[in-house]
Amino acid sequence: MENSASSELIGEGTVQFQAYDGCITTIQGVRHVPELRYNLISLGVLQNEGFSFSSKGDLMKVFKEAHVLFQAERVGNVYMLLNSEVTVGGL
């Protein structure tokens, strides 16, 4: 964390994103840390899982192969998902 504090990890599971076009993407090995106020996605972890991303202005697109899986808009220093529904399982 930015303030050098640590938080307890209480579980690991999967997250599914349903994008604006109906496509469902599953990310495995997601960690659950209840003290965090926001859900965070590491771009490095996505890249390790074969995802790629590009940004232009305040819009970021996340791809798997050539398909856009989801989009995010920059708000301050973070990107917020656009038009996506998130389902959490196994945490």
Would you give per-residue pLDDT tens digits along the chain (91 residues)? 566 777 777 777 888 877 767 778 788 877 777 777 777 777 888 888 888 999 999 999 988 888 888 888 999 988 888 876 666 655 5
Rounded to 10 degrees, the C-alpha dihedral 26/32/37/40 comes to -40
Domain extents in the chain: 11-89
Rounded to 10 degrees, the C-alpha dihedral 29/13/88/67 comes to 30
Note if the pTM is more than 0.85: no
Q: Which residue has the tokens 């690991």?
A: 12
